[in-house]
Amino acid sequence: MPGAAFRRGDRVTLRTVEREDAEFVQRGHNHPEVGVSLGLDRPENESEAEANIESGEDDPLNVSLLACLDDGDGPTPIGKVTLMNLHHTRPEISYWLLPEYHGEGYGTEAVGVLVDYAFESQEIRGLQAQAFAPNEGSVGVLENLGFTHEGTLRDARFRDGEYVDVVWYGLLREEWEDR
């Protein structure tokens, strides 16, 4: 069961990740449409997912949260958002949703709530994110939130049997505030 509510959007709530969420995180990481998009190259078992959650609890430089829909039966996790390397002037964000929730705007909302948190609570200049160029959904999330394409690493990762480009996006504080 997802942990305490941390930040709320209109439809998506970001909640803390708890040890009990290892099965959900494992299911997401092992889903072919999610794991391949994240660049994961091997399956993750539940004890590995649990260990990653536990190690993240003690890391003050990263914030991982579950994106959840709150319905009458309580919170339903649909994905995960992460803010990494908070000691950098431009930390990196990462995110994924289970495929059955793609195309509904949940990813854009969840990442937007994370961006709000980052700029409200951290002394950072901006944020950065990367995506595989063929992942139109992930690129769309970034562009919808005002991120700017800052570069392309050609044939940078081996994904699903072929080399693909990795695109880098950035968002500066004033760009977010001026939206």
Q: 113-127, pLDDT tens digit by residue?
A: 999 999 999 999 999
Amino acid at 91: P
Question: Per 3-state DSSP, what percentage of the chain is helix, strand, and coil (rounded to 5)?
Answer: 35, 35, 30
Read off the tokens for 48: 């590995």
Three-state SS at 126: strand
Give the span between the Cα atoms of 3 and 39, in whole angstroms: 27
- Tell me what percent of the residues of the chain surpass a pLDDT of 90: 70
pLDDT, tens digit (0-9, with 9 covering 90-100), for 47-95 = 888 887 877 767 889 999 999 998 778 899 999 999 999 999 999 999 9
DSSP state of 89: S
Number of domains in the chain: 1
Residue 171 sits in a domain whose CATH number is: 3.40.630.30
Domain hosting 141: range is: 5-177
Confidence check: pLDDT of 1 > 90: no
Give the CA distances from residue 94 to residues 38, 64, 161, in Å, rounded to whole numbers and listed in that order.
9, 9, 23
Residue 155 has pLDDT above 70, yes or no: yes
| CB neighbour list of residue 68: distance below 8 Å, 6 or more residues apart | 2, 12, 13, 14, 15, 75, 76, 77, 78
Give the whole-angstrom CA distance, residue 161 versus residue 81: 26
Residue 152 confidence (pLDDT) above 70: yes
Amino acid occupying residue 136: E
